[in-house]
A and B are shown apart, each in its own frame.
Chain A
Amino acid sequence: MNTELIIWSIFGLPLASFIIISLGIRGFVPNRPLLAPICSIGTSVLSFILSLYILVQYSSIDTNISSHSIINMSGLTLSFGILLNPLTVVMLVVVTVVSILVQFYSVGYMRKDPSFIRYFAYLSLFTACMLGIVISSNLIQLFIFWELVGLCSYLLIGFWHYKPSASYAAKKAFIVTRIGDIGFLIAILVVVSVQTNLENSNNILDLPNLITAISNGVFSSNQITIISLGLLAGAIGKSAQFPLHVWLPDAMEGPTPVSALIHAATMVAAGVFLIARFFPGIHSSIPDIMFLIACIGSFTALISALMALVMNDIKRILAYSTISQLGFMFAAVGFGAWGAAIFHLVTHAFFKALLFLLSGNISHGIPTHSFDLRNMGQLRTKMPFTFIAMLCGACSLAGIFPFSGFWSKDEILAEALSNQQYLIFGVLLITTFITSIYIFRIIHLAFLNPKKQMKGQQVPEKAHEANWIMNIPILLLSIAAIGIGVIINSPIDLGLINAHMFSSFIGAHVHDLNIQLMIISTIIGISGFIITFWYYNYPISIPSVLKNYLLKINNVITNKYYIDIIYEKYFMMKFIYSFLANFLHKIDEKLIDNTVNQIGATVKNSSHIIKQIQNGQMQVYAGFTSIGVLIFFVMFIIFIR
C-alpha cells in the first residue's frame, strides 16, 4: 500500500469525521445523536489500525514522502508534507489510542448533554489536528496545526459556554498559549528570512533540512538562539510550563473527558513533541538553551507539584500534576534524554488519562457531582472498581515498581544522574516525593475514611459506580497504567519482550540498569503513601510557631504564588487595559477627534463672522468699496512710484 496515502488517511479520517458530524449529522439527522460517536470512534479506530500497520511495517516502508505546495509564489514556497520517523509513528499510535478511549468514555459521560453531537465533532477535529502536528514536515505546516490544536482545546474547554467560568478559562487558555505562539512565529520569520536569501533550492522550512542547515552553519549563532528560544516559547505555552502554566489548571472547566484528552495525548503533549522533534538534532549548537530547558522543566515540576499538594479539587490537583510531569519531560529533553522524555510522555498519557477519567467517574457517581475532595470520603465501599483503578493510576504516577510510570520516571532520573545534572536530579527527586504525597492524598480523602474530614460531612450514601461504557476504557487504561512501561521498554530481556524496545525503536540513548536508583525511587514513592496514611490517621501536633510559618507558606502556594493575580489583575487589567488602552483611547477621543471637531467649529465660527459683512446694506458695501479703492490707491503710489 502507498505509505503517503496511509498517513494522510490517518490524519484525514478524523477530519472527515468532523466534517460529516458538523455538517451532515448536525444538519440533517440531529435527532439521532448516537451517529456522531459512531462516526468519530469509527474513524479513530481506522486511524489507529493504520497507525499500527505503520508501526509494525516501519522497517520495510519508504519514509521519503513528497510534499504538496499550497503557496507557490516568487520568493516563497509553502508545502505540506509528511515527516515519517519513529517519533511520528509512536505519537500516531498514542494519540489515536487515547482519543479512542476518551471518545468511548465520553459516550457514557456526555450522553445527557444537549450538545452531544457538537461535542463529538470537536473531539474529532481535536484528534485530527493533533495528528496533523505529528505528521507535519514543514515548520509552517506544523504551526498551522499547532494553532488549530489550540483552537480545539479552546472550543472544548469552553464547551459549556453558558458557564462564565468555562468561557473565561477557554479565553485564558487561548490567549496564554498564543503568547507562546508569538515566539514560534518569530522563529518561522527568522527561518524564512534566511531562506529567501539562500542560493540553493533546499527548502529549509522542512524540519530535517532545517536541522541540517543549523548544524551546517547556515544560520548565525544569534539566529539559532532566536529560533530555538522562539520554538521553546511556543512549547512552553502549549505544554504549560512556567511562566505560561497558568492556563492549564483553569482548563478543567471543560468536560472531564476533554481534560483527559488535553492532559494526555493532545495539546500539552504537542509542546514536548515539538522540542523532542527539534532540539535533539541541534543540541550541540545551543548548550545554554538546553540547560535553560532543563531548568525551566525541573523548576516547573517542583512548583506545580507543591501547588498540587494544597488544592482541594481533584481535577485541579491532576492539572498541576500534569504540569509537573511535563516539567519532567522538559528537563529530560534539556539534559539530552529526549528518548526518556518521549517514553514518559507515552506512559503519562495512559495513566493521566486514566486518572482524569476516574475523577469523572467519581463526580459522575456522587450526588453533588462536584470534584471537591472535601465532599468525598469512604467511596471505596461504594465504588470499588474506581478505587482499584485509581490505585493503579496513583501508583503509576508516584512511580512505584512495577507500574508503568516507574520505568519512565526512573529512566529520566537515571539519565539525569549519568549526565551529571545533580541539581536537577535533586529537584526531580524531591518532586517525585511530593508527587507521591499529593496523589495518595486524593486516595485517602476520596476513598478511605479520613477521620479529620468527617466533621459535619456526610458520607455520600448514594454514590454509585459508572456504567460499563465508561468502565471499559478505564479497565483498558488501568491495564496500560500497570503494564505498558515494562512491556514497551523493559530494561532487561524478558523472553518475549526485548530489552529497551522503545528506546531503540525511536533511536534514543539506552541507559544501563541502575538498581540502587530504582530502589530509592520506589522507596520514595511508597513513603509518600505511608506519610499520607500516617498524617490522616494519626494527626500529629505541630508547634504553633512552625504552624504559623507553614500556614503562611500554604497561603502563598494556595494563591498559586500570586502569579495569576499578577498576570490578570496587574498586567492585564491595570497595565494594558486601564493604563495603556485607556490612555490611547483618551488621546483618540480628546486629542485627535477633538482637534478635528475644533477645526470644523473654527471654520464655522469664522464664516459666521465674515458672514456679517454680507448684510445687504448698500452703505456698508459702498464703505468697503471705498476702503478697497483707497488701499489700491495707496499701494499704487507706494509701489509704482
Chain B
Amino acid sequence: MGILTLLILTPLIGALLAILPFTKNNYAKYIAVITSIIVCILTFLVFVSFDSSDKTQQFQLQENIINAFSVAPLNLNYHLGVDGISCIMILLTGILGIPSVLVSWNITNKPKQYFFWLLILQSSLFGVFSSLNMLLFFIFWEIELIPMFFLISMWGSGLRRHYSAMKFLIFTFGGSAFILIGLLVLAFSGHSLDMSEPIYKTTQTLIPLSALCLIFFLGFAVKLPVWPLHTWLPDAHSDAPTAGSMMLAGILLKLGGYGLLRICIGLFPDTIDTWALLFFILGLINLLYGAFVTMRQTDLKRLIAYSSISHMGYVLIGFSSIATNSSIGATGATLQMFTHGTITGLLFLLVGLVYEKAKTRSISELGGLVKRMPRITSLFMLAGLASLGLPGTSGFVSELLVFIGAFNYMKIGTIIATIAIILTTGYMLWMIHKTMFGPPMERFDKINDATDRELIAASILGIPILVIGIYPQIIIEYLDLSLALF
C-alpha cells in the first residue's frame, strides 16, 4: 500500500472511529487531533521524500480495482501519484488539518458527527490532490462537497446558514456538471482519462480542444471563484464554523486553481494561448473588483472572504502568463495558492477566536482588543501583513513572482494590477486598526486572550508564512520543474 493511499485512508479511519456508537462525545476531538497529527506527519513524509529534481509523477500506484464499474470508455483506475504541485497542496492540507481540529475544541453540538465530517473532508481532499485518473479525481471532488455542506448547515454560526449551505452546494454542483461534461466528452473521444498525459492539438476530439478547455474552466471557475461566479463564497464563509471557513478558504478554493492547472493547462497545453487573455482579464477583475468590494465590508468574515476573491485574482493572472513560455508567473500563482491557504486560514482562525470571545464580528462594534488580546493581535498583524504582501512573508514572494510573470505577458495590465497592492494595504490595515487598536472598550474588559492550545493552532499556520517568506526556495524548488513542463 502506497503512502498516498495511507493518506486517504488515515483520516477515513479516524472519521469512522470518531463516529462509532461507543465513542464518547468527549473523545471525538482527541481522535480527530491524533488523526490530524498522524496525517500531518505523513504529508511531511511525502514532502521530504519527494525528489524535486525528478519531474515525473512520484509515489505512483495504479490498480484497476473497480473493473466492474469500468464501462467501455470510462476506465476508472485507482491511479495515484504526485508531482511537485500536488505535493505542496497535500502539504497544505496536512498543515491546515491540525489547527482546524484545535479551534473546534469547544464544539458541543454533536461533536462526533462534526469531527467525522471534518476528517472525511480531509480524506477527500487528499484524494483530489493525488488522483491521476480523471474519474477518480471527479469522484473525490464530489465527495468533498458533502462534509462541507453539513459543516455549514449544521454547525454554522449565522441565521442564514441553510441558505448559504444550499447556495454553496448548488453553485459547486453546477460547476461540477461542467467538469462531468468535459470528462464525458474526453472519454467518448476515445482518450484515456489519465491526467498525466497531455492532449495536443493533433488529437481528435468530439469538440474543439479549446472549447473543451473552456468547459473545464467553467467548472473550476466556480470553485476558485472567478467573477461573476463568486457570490456563494462570502455567504458560505460568513455562515460556516471557524474550521469550515479555514478549510473552505484554505484548501477548497485552491481546488479550483489546482484543477485549472492540472486539467485546463496541464491536459490541454496548446489551448493556453487561446484563453490566456481571458484568464488575465478575469484575474484582473477578480483582483480589483474584489479589493474594492472588500473595502465596503463591515463583517470580519465577509471582509476576509472578499479579500480571498481578490487574492485568487493573482492565481488567474499568474496562470495566464504561461502563454509567454515562462513558468515564473505560474510558479507565483501556485505559491500564492499555498501561501493564501496558510494566510487566510490563519485570518479565519483568528477571526473565529475574536468572534468566540467578543461575541461579535461586526467591525464597527470592535475596537481596542489589543489590550486584552496581545497574542491574537500579534498573529493578526502577521497574517494581515502577509496578506498585503509585505516582504519577509510568503505573500510577498508569490505576488512578486506573479507580477514578474504577468509583466512579460501584458505590461499595462500588470501595472493596473499593482493598484491592488495599495487597496489591499488599505483595507487590511483598516480592519486591523479598527478591531485591535484604538482606545480599549469597557465591554471587552473581561475577555481573554488566546489559550495555549489556540496559540499552537495559530502558530502552525504562522510559521510557514515566515519560513517561506524568508527562504522561498523551499517551496519553489518543488514547483519549478513540474511547472516548467507546461
Contact = CB atoms under 8 A, between A and B. Distances in A.
B404 A189 contact: yes
B415 A580 contact: no
B404 to A, nearest CB: 5
Contacts of A147: 390-391, 396
Given A161-B370, A585-B296, A596 B231 contact: yes
B473 A178 contact: no
Interface in A588-606: 588, 592-593, 596, 600
B191 interface: no
A441 B467 CA distance: 52
A610 interface: no
Contacts of A175: 422, 425-426, 429
Nearest to B434: A167
A162 B408 contact: no
Interface stretch (A68-76, A543-551, A558-566): A68-76
Interface string A164-188: 1001101100110011011001100
A585 B390 CA distance: 27
B371 A178 contact: no
Contacts of A178: 421-422, 425
Interface string A151-169: 1000000100110100110
A396 to B, nearest CB: 36
Given A162-B368, A185-B421, A72 B438 contact: no
A584 B422 contact: no
A577 B385 contact: no
Contacts, number: 129
Interface in A379-394: none
Given A74-B480, A167-B433, A174-B425, A581 B404 contact: no
B438 A162 contact: yes
Nearest to A161: B437
Interface string B408-420: 1001001100110
B429 A74 contact: no
Interface residues of B, number: 55
B57 interface: no
B471 interface: yes
A578 B197 CA distance: 51
By secondary structure, the A interface counts as helix
B476 A171 contact: no
Contact of B484 (A74, A179, A577): A74
A181 B292 CA distance: 20
Interface in B323-351: 326-328, 331
Given A580-B292, A581-B295, A584-B293, A189 B403 contact: yes
Nearest to A600: B170
Contacts of B21: none
Interface in B422-452: 422, 425-426, 429-430, 433, 436-440
B400 interface: yes
Contacts of A593: 231
Nearest to B474: A70
B473 A72 contact: yes
Contacts of B470: 70
The 6 A-B residue pairs with the shortest CB-CB distance in the complex, in nearest-first order? A144-B391, A585-B296, A161-B437, A189-B407, A581-B295, A73-B480
Interface of A: 69-76, 140, 143-145, 147-148, 151, 158, 161-162, 164, 167-168, 170-171, 174-175, 178-179, 181-182, 185-186, 189-190, 192-193, 196, 576-577, 580-582, 584-585, 588, 592-593, 596, 600
Given A71-B472, A145-B391, 6 more contacts: A72-B476, A73-B476, A164-B439, A196-B328, A576-B292, A585-B292
